[in-house]
Amino acid sequence: MRKYRQDIDLLKKGEADAETIEAKQIKYQTKYSQYKAFFDRMELPMQRDRIYNDGLKVKSDNPIEKIFVSKTDIDNDSKTSYNNSPLEDKLRKQYRKDVKEGWITALFSEDQYVKLYYDL
């Protein structure tokens, strides 16, 4: 998907015809839909930061998506939660540390990590 995003950006900068750009955008949207369907089937949160890690701007008019993409970085320790208990905040911080150190995969979300703790 990053390749399609890069191609679309280059086509726009190179002033390619609208049909060529649109064809590439359709391919990108198809891949995005497949990616989203996979995460839905696996009941995992989408990792949009992997898509948008190409250095190109997010082309969405949706301000919520722009915020989400910028806040998904695992190294961001400033993630504030107002409704969590101190224990849950500690678990979420430990999750980020474990992912950063490679003890668990980032495909296992913070929420799943906390839920597993309570289940155990």
Between 30 and 51, whose confidence is greater? 30
| 20 inside domain | no
| 114 inside domain | yes
| Tally of domains within the chain | 1
| 61 inside domain | no
Q: What is the tens place of the pLDDT at every residue in 31-48?
A: 888 888 888 888 888 777
| 111 inside domain | yes
* ∠ CA 18-23-50, rounded to 5°: 115
Between 54 and 65, whose confidence is greater? 54
| 89 inside domain | yes
Q: Which domain holds residue 104?
A: 74-120
Q: What is the tens place of the pLDDT at every residue in 20-31?
A: 999 998 988 888
| 84 inside domain | yes
Residue 58 scores a pLDDT above 70: no
Residue 62 scores a pLDDT above 70: no
* ∠ CA 120-38-110, rounded to 5°: 30
| 116 inside domain | yes
Assigned token pair, 63: 């301000």
Q: Which residues contact 102 (CB under 8 A, 6 or more apart)?
A: none
Q: Are 57 and 65 in contact (CB under 8 A)?
A: no
